[in-house]
Each structure stands twice: as C-alpha cells, then as structure tokens.
Chains A and B, each alone.
Chain A
Amino acid sequence: MASMGETAARQGLRYVDDRFGSASFLRRSFNKVFPDHWSFLLGEIALYSFVILLLTGTYLTLFFHASTEVVTYNGSYAPLRGVQMTDAYASTLHMSFDVRGGLLMRQIHHWAAVLFVMSIAVHMMRVFFTGAFRKPRTINWHIGVTLFILATLEGFAGYSLPDDLLSGTGLRIAYSVMESIPVVGTYLAYFVFGSDFPSTSGDFIPRLFIIHVLLVPGILLALISAHMMIIWHQKHTDFPGPGKTEHNVVGSPFFPTFVIKTNGFLFLVFGVCAFLGAFAQINPVWLYGPYNASQVSAGSQPDWYIFFLEGSLRLMPNLESNFWGHTISWNIFVPGVILPGIMFNLLYVYPSLEAWITKDKAYHNLLQRPRDVPTRTALGVFGLTFYAILYLGGQNDVLANTFHWSLQSTTWVMRVLIIIGPFIAYYVTKRWALGLRHKDEERLHHGEETGIIRRLPSGEYIEVHEPLPAQRQAILAMQLGHDLPDHAELPSGNGHHSNGQGNGQAPGIGRPVGAMARAREALEGFFFERHDSPKSGPGDDDPKTLTRP
C-alpha cells in the first residue's frame, strides 16, 4: 500500500513538473539561505498578523452591513435595545452578541491590527538602526514606508466602519483636517465623504468599506509580495560575524530549517492574537454607543498609530488667519497635514539623503550596529523622541486624569518637550554611541582588560591587557569600518567612511565648487563629527600596556 501511495505521489509530482518545470526552481529555492539573527523575525510578525487580518476580516465581512440606513436595534444587548442607529452599527452589535464566535473574531481582528502596525514600526526601527536600508535596499525601504502609511490608513478605515461614537468622533476630526487645507479643503472633504459629515448622502460608510476590504488590502498584498520578492532576490542582510562577508549569506536553508522555524513562529503569532482576543476586551462599541454628532465622550482617543496626529492637534497652539474673508486654520492645517507630510517624507528620503551626504554609493549586505554610525542612530532617536512626545500628547487627558496632573500643565510641558526633548535625546544618544565606539576601538587596539596589575622590575605598575582573538578582532575591525586597508586614504565613494577619517580631505581634491557641494560637505562634517577621538586612533599605542605573556 505504502509503495502504491508513493508511486501515485511521484506520478502526481511528475505531472506537475512536466508542465511547470518547477523541480529545479524548488530545489534552488529550498536551498536559499536565511540568516538566524532574532531581529530578522520582527518583520515576520507583521506578515503573520496580516494573514490573521485577512482570515478574520473575511469572516467579519459575512456579517457586516456597510449601510447608514437607520434601524431600531432589537438584538440581545439590552442597554441599547430600542435605540435608533445605523445598520453598520447594528450589524456590528449583531456580530458581537448574536453571531457565534463573532466577538472573538472581531477582537482577534482588532488585536491583530494593533500588532500589525506595531510590528511594522518595530521592524522599521531595526532596519533603520542597522543601516539595512542602504543600497541596494533603498527601494524596499520606500515600499516599507508606504506599507506603514497604508497600514495606518487601513486601521483607521477599519475601526471607523462600525459607526460608533468613538470612531465617529475620529471621522469628524479627519473631516475637519481635510477641510483645513486652504482653498480646496472643503471640496476635498466633500469629494471624499460624498457629503458633509455625519453623512447625509449615505455614501460614506459603503466607500469606507470598499477602501477597507478591497482597495487598501489589495495594495497592501501587492506591496507585501513585492517587499518579499525583493528580499528573496537581493538576499537577506546579516551582521558581520565569523565567515560573513559582503558577498555571502550564512544561516539555515529555506527548507526545511527556515520553513519549520517560520511556521512555528506563524503559530506563535496566531496564539498571541487569539490569547489577546479571548481575554482582553478591545473596542467595546456597545459601550461607546451609536455615533451622534451632538455627543462626545471624555478621553476620546484613536487607535495607537493615530496617537501622534491626535497629539500634534492637541499640542498645537490656537492660530488662525483671515485673508479676504477666507479663514486658514493653521491650528489644524499645520499639525494635521503639514507635520505628518514632513515626517513621512523624511522617512522616504532618508536613505538617499544619507547616501548623498556620505557619498556612499557602495553595495551593503552587512549590517551596522547602532553605535557604528553614531549620527544616524542619534538622528533616529531624535525622530523617535519627537514621535513619542506627540504620541503621549494624544493621550494628555487620560495621563492627566490617571496621574492627577493638571491638564493645562501637561499640555504645556509637552509643548516645551516637543521642542527641546529631541535635541537632548540626540545629544545623549550620540555621546552614548561614541562612548561605545571608543570602547570598541580600545578593545580592538589594546585588547580586553584582564584585571591583572603587574609590577615591573623597575617598580612601575602596569595593567595587563589581553588581545582579542584574531577572528573577533577582524569582526570588530569590520564593524568599526577598519576592514579595508588604507581606509583613510580611499577616495570618497567607496562607502567606507564610517570611521570618519579623511573626509573630503583625500589628496588631489580641492575645495568643492557650488553651494550644494559646500552644503553637502558641511553635512558630511556633521555626520562624521567625532567618530574617533584622536587618542584612540589605530596608530596609537600605549607604551605602558603590555599584553599577557
């Protein structure tokens, strides 16, 4: 029997192979090597939450009615029975209380959405701080930023669908932000919503539904596929390590090791989402009540990925101008449109900007540690601090109420912090990274401290250092950017500027011509500022240090 089954299987496989020629493709693919570092799994959390979102979301569409038709609720949730509401809200109540497994599916879907955007953010931080966005992966970084923005929009569209009081308040704000755009704002808002808000035409919820279940998921799916295919094609990056170079990938083969590992991880992500969905209540729309423009709840917050926008609106001082009877609401336009525009555009251009400043045109398959590029790391923390204060600003009333602060003081402290906080964070991070770098330089050139103090015949005391093993030394040199011979003398453009020596001072190159070139040079000076302290250069040997015999 077994052999018969085996024969049948072989025949079946040959049938497929004869038609697609897939055996050699599979053989090559199965042997694809994936590196093992834990931080490379962060992006996979996003991928698997997306899978959960597709599965649970499909279930929810079976019961959701994308309609603003007003109905009288008669389901099993007693405190709302007899209340007039839109069909969208009523069907959400119905699926929560009267559909078997409906509430669990809704909650898993919502938790997976929260984790989807969170894991994208964490994954982006990993990519940023390790320099994985550098050439040749710049386009994949752009796709990643787009995915982050789309995931945010998708989440907002999703939690706005039930037409409850909380999300309706959010939509009202979104409508006003659109309206704040000078000249075209009112038209744009009408164009998107199909009418004023709350909708009088009934177009908006069906539109939002199609955006949420078809349009954005379709684009997300296409971009995720492109993201993965580019990774597959370009191969994964890795940290410098034994036997690892710019031209190889060290790790486990795709099949069976990586497949087993990643599938195990898939189920762990499923498990965490199911656990949260089962035990932690999220978005209790029945408590919020149906949307009504005359009502609002204290502590109305969006989901976490919109906190920063909520915060920028809450922290912005009240500024308006009036030109020939036309009001420009700077208090909404600047924090709601200009600021996120600048933030996301900076994310898009950063890789090109850094490459332009450092004249780095080389291919990079090896990653950097955050300390290896102190200025980039510090700039990243600058941005994160700015974001974090906006994020906290979005929940200022809940913070004030929880910790018994004055709401006004909380807002004012955050207004000050949003200006000075990022600079303090930048300085601290830069010093921290430089300190770690100098420590590494010392270990590279003088070896590890042993704690042994030895007295010389002359009576002098010395501290004994033990040189690092050769392999460790080579890796450290690579991490610090000393891996190329004469790295200081190489002309710009080889991409190994990270030790900061010889910037723009290569022999034969005169002063740059043109404002742009001068600006670039100034920025380069800023970027590589104080990478190496003069005392710990490669040529510097402390005569008082002996190596262990």
Chain B
Amino acid sequence: MSPSTFARRLASRRRQLASAAIVAVALGLLGMLYAAIAPRGSAATSADPAVDEGRSLFQSLSCASCHGLNGEGGKRAPSLIGVGAAAVDFQMGTGRMPLQQHGAEAPRKRPVASEGDILKVAAYVASLGPGPAIPQFDAADWQKADTAYGGALFRTNCAQCHNFAGSGGALTYGKYAPSLSDATPTQIYEAMITGPENMPVFGDKQITPDQKLAIINYVRTIKTQADPGGVGLGRVGPVTETVVGWLVGIGVLVIVTIWIGARA
C-alpha cells in the first residue's frame, strides 16, 4: 500500500464522519422542533370525562392486554382505532368481549361490564378515531317498518348464514353464524354496520337505515311469533323433524308392534 493511497483513504473516511455528524445534528434539531410544536397528546386529557373513565376501564377490564395500552392492537388482537362505539357496544354488550379464550369464534355470553361501563369504553374507543356510532332508535321506529320487505331482505342477505329463521348455521373451520334469538334490535343494527367476527359490513349504501329497521322488525316478529304447527323443533328444517320421525313416529309404532306381538 503506497502513502498516497493511504492519504486518499483517510480523506474519504473524514468526509464520511462529517456527513454522519451533520445528519445527527439535523435529526436532533428536527426532534427538538417536533417536541416544541407537537400537540400535547389530546388523548391524555380529554374534555369528556367518560373518555378518561373509559380509558381506565379499558385497562382494568383487561382490554389493553390484547388490544394494546392505547388500543393500537397487537399480535393477538386487532387495532381498535376507527372501529367506533358501535363495535364496542356490540362486542361487550353481547359478552363476546372481554374474550374468554381464543378460538374459532367468540361465543355470546353474559356481559362482564355494566351497561354504563360499556358506554364509557365505547366513548374512549370512539375517541381513538372516527367509526360507526351506537345507532339511536327506539321500538316505535322498527315496529313501523315493513315486516314482509324485511323478510325478503333477510332471506337475500342474512339467511345463507343465519338460516331462514335466524337459528344460526355453520361456517368454515369451526366458525359459525350465531342464532339471532337473543340479539336485541340495537345489537342486530350494530352487527350490520360493524361486521363482527366473520360477518360482512352492510353499509348504509348497501342496506339503507330504513331497510335495516325492516330486517330487525322481521327478525323480531318471527322470533316472538308462536309456531302454528305445534312444537317448532328448533326451526332448523328437516334434520330435527327426522329425529322426531325416528324416535316418536317409528319408535312408538315399533313398540306398538311388539306389544301386539306379545299379546298374540
């Protein structure tokens, strides 16, 4: 290695160090500038006290253990930024969240949190980003909707997973569309606008709010309607009818033949 080559290399190394130093200083200045002008974390202090209470409930109800301290999501659970209050009200109101265990699907169970607490968590999650709000309507709204139209919409959009009477049905790999028998009108509406679990979202352009109320009216009408033909047998179609046919129909008649045979 000749001396001139060595000098060239030294100069090159010095230039590199100089550029690194400039970048470091620039980054430092940028950081300080950011710290000076960045907003002081609007989430940290909120105008709405419900949001603050919601945040502490979010942590104490162990939502944060999967969804992250700020609802940013993690390996085990999705981000909650932008899911909206409706999703929280549905998931916690049907007892699906907090999750009992990981599996193909979260089953409906008794809610852990009170209604008031759920609304606070909902307010907090809504503050993370814009999303669907909890729908506001009362019984009179859906009760005046067109049941028969709702039925046609239900058969077109819902029955292929939830079955013709909303009794539920199997989906792939252990997932399922649950029975609608326990769902409240608000929960049915929330499910349509948030698409929980495997359910698609039915936006207001696909199914208008009026149509949603009609569907709710149909689901509630057939749920409360008595079965005119006797015992409803779970409203799942021929499978249960067949079980009754074998056990009660042929079963009883075979016992009768044995009885007649024994008396011969």
* Contact surface of A with B, Cβ cutoff 8 Å: 36-39, 41-42, 45, 78-83, 96-97, 103, 107, 111, 114-115, 118-119, 122, 165-166, 251-252, 261, 264-265, 268-269, 272-273, 276, 278-284, 287-289, 292, 294-304, 307, 395-398, 400-401, 404-409
Q: Contact flags (1/0) for B158-202 with A, using CB distance below 8 Å?
A: 011111110111111110110000000000000000000000000
Query: Given A111-B245, A122-B254, A298-B168, does the pair A289, B152 have CB atoms closer than 8 Å?
Result: yes
Pick the interface stretch among B24-32, B61-69, B110-118, B224-232. Answer: B224-232
- Contact present for B177 and A83 (CB under 8 Å): no
Complex Cα distance, B188 from A197, in Å, reads 34
- Contact present for A276 and B250 (CB under 8 Å): no
Interface centre among A41, A111, A292 (most CB of B within 10 A): A41
Residues on the A chain within 8 Å of B233, using CB: 280-282
Q: Contact flags (1/0) for B228-248 with A, using CB distance below 8 Å?
A: 111111011111011011101
Pick the interface stretch among B10-18, B45-53, B126-134, B255-263. Answer: B255-263
Nearest-neighbor residue (CB-CB) of B242 within chain A: A304
Q: Which of B222, B237, B256, B260 contacts A79 (CB 8 A)?
A: B222
A105 to chain B, nearest CB (A): 12
Nearest-neighbor residue (CB-CB) of B245 within chain A: A114
- Contact present for A298 and B151 (CB under 8 Å): no
Query: Given A165-B164, A272-B249, A283-B241, does the pair A397, B169 have CB atoms closer than 8 Å?
Result: yes
* Contact surface of B with A, Cβ cutoff 8 Å: 104, 146-149, 151-152, 155-156, 159-165, 167-174, 176-177, 218, 221-222, 225, 227-233, 235-239, 241-242, 244-246, 248-250, 252-254, 256-258, 260-262, 264
B200 to chain A, nearest CB (A): 15
Query: Given A283-B241, A284-B227, A304-B242, does the pair A298, B250 have CB atoms closer than 8 Å?
Result: no
Residues on the A chain within 8 Å of B152, using CB: 83, 289
Q: Which of B160, B218, B230 contacts A280 (CB 8 A)?
A: B230
- Contact present for B155 and A41 (CB under 8 Å): no
Query: Given A38-B260, A302-B238, A404-B174, does the pair A297, B148 have CB atoms closer than 8 Å?
Result: no
- Contact present for B254 and A397 (CB under 8 Å): no
Query: Given A42-B257, A303-B242, A304-B242, does the pair A406, B173 have CB atoms closer than 8 Å?
Result: yes
Residues on the A chain within 8 Å of B258, using CB: 38
- Contact present for B256 and A398 (CB under 8 Å): no
- Contact present for A276 and B174 (CB under 8 Å): no
Q: Could you tell me the dominant secondary structure of chain B's interface residues?
A: helix
- Contact present for A401 and B176 (CB under 8 Å): yes
Complex Cα distance, B229 from A45, in Å, reads 24
Residues on the A chain within 8 Å of B177, using CB: 298
A298 to chain B, nearest CB (A): 3
Other A-B contacts than A83-B148, A265-B256, 8 sampled, CB-CB below 8 A, are A37-B261, A82-B149, A107-B229, A119-B253, A297-B237, A301-B238, A303-B241, A409-B174
Residues on the A chain within 8 Å of B149, using CB: 82
- Contact present for B261 and A279 (CB under 8 Å): no
B223 to chain A, nearest CB (A): 11
Query: Given A122-B250, A272-B252, does the pair A289, B170 have CB atoms closer than 8 Å?
Result: no
Q: List 19 A-B contacts (CB under 8 A).
A: A42-B254, A79-B218, A82-B149, A103-B228, A115-B245, A115-B250, A118-B245, A118-B249, A165-B155, A165-B159, A265-B257, A268-B256, A280-B244, A281-B230, A282-B233, A283-B241, A298-B159, A299-B236, A408-B172
Nearest-neighbor residue (CB-CB) of B240 within chain A: A398
- Contact present for A103 and B229 (CB under 8 Å): yes
Residues on the B chain within 8 Å of A38, using CB: 257-258, 260-262
B190 to chain A, nearest CB (A): 21
Query: Given A269-B253, A287-B235, A297-B159, does the pair A280, B151 have CB atoms closer than 8 Å?
Result: no
Complex Cα distance, B138 from A414, in Å, reads 48
Complex Cα distance, B250 from A118, in Å, reads 7
Residues on the B chain within 8 Å of A396, using CB: 170
Q: Which of B167, B225, B235, B249 contacts A111 (CB 8 A)?
A: B249
Nearest-neighbor residue (CB-CB) of B264 within chain A: A36
- Contact present for A119 and B236 (CB under 8 Å): no
Interface centre among A81, A269, A301 (most CB of B within 10 A): A301
Q: Which of B160, B173, B222, B253 contacts A298 (CB 8 A)?
A: B160
- Contact present for B249 and A287 (CB under 8 Å): no
A49 to chain B, nearest CB (A): 9
Residues on the A chain within 8 Å of B256, using CB: 265, 268, 272
Complex Cα distance, B225 from A97, in Å, reads 14
B146 to chain A, nearest CB (A): 8
Complex Cα distance, B218 from A81, in Å, reads 12
Residues on the B chain within 8 Å of A82, using CB: 146, 148-149
Complex Cα distance, B115 from A375, in Å, reads 67
A84 to chain B, nearest CB (A): 9
- Contact present for A289 and B164 (CB under 8 Å): yes
Nearest-neighbor residue (CB-CB) of A307 within chain B: B242
Residues on the B chain within 8 Å of A278, using CB: 230
- Contact present for B237 and A301 (CB under 8 Å): yes
List of 6 A-B pairs having minimum Cβ-Cβ separation, nearest first: A38-B261, A298-B169, A281-B229, A36-B264, A406-B174, A304-B242
B91 to chain A, nearest CB (A): 20
Q: Which of B160, B164, B241 contacts A114 (CB 8 A)?
A: B241
Residues on the A chain within 8 Å of B176, using CB: 400-401, 404
Complex Cα distance, B245 from A114, in Å, reads 7
Residues on the B chain within 8 Å of A398, using CB: 170, 236-237, 239
B73 to chain A, nearest CB (A): 26
Nearest-neighbor residue (CB-CB) of A264 within chain B: B260
Complex Cα distance, B258 from A301, in Å, reads 32
- Contact present for A282 and B229 (CB under 8 Å): yes
- Contact present for A39 and B249 (CB under 8 Å): no
Complex Cα distance, B239 from A400, in Å, reads 13
A126 to chain B, nearest CB (A): 10
A195 to chain B, nearest CB (A): 24
Interface centre among B146, B149, B167, B258 (most CB of A within 10 A): B167
Residues on the A chain within 8 Å of B171, using CB: 407
- Contact present for A78 and B147 (CB under 8 Å): yes
Interface centre among B165, B168, B250 (most CB of A within 10 A): B250
Complex Cα distance, B159 from A298, in Å, reads 6
- Contact present for B170 and A81 (CB under 8 Å): no
B226 to chain A, nearest CB (A): 10
- Contact present for B227 and A281 (CB under 8 Å): yes
Complex Cα distance, B244 from A118, in Å, reads 12
Residues on the A chain within 8 Å of B147, using CB: 78-79
Complex Cα distance, B169 from A531, in Å, reads 49
Complex Cα distance, B169 from A296, in Å, reads 12
Residues on the B chain within 8 Å of A83, using CB: 148, 151-152
Q: Which of B156, B169, B229, B249 contacts A284 (CB 8 A)?
A: B229
Q: Which of B104, B146, B156, B261 contacts A41 (CB 8 A)?
A: B261
Complex Cα distance, B252 from A289, in Å, reads 33
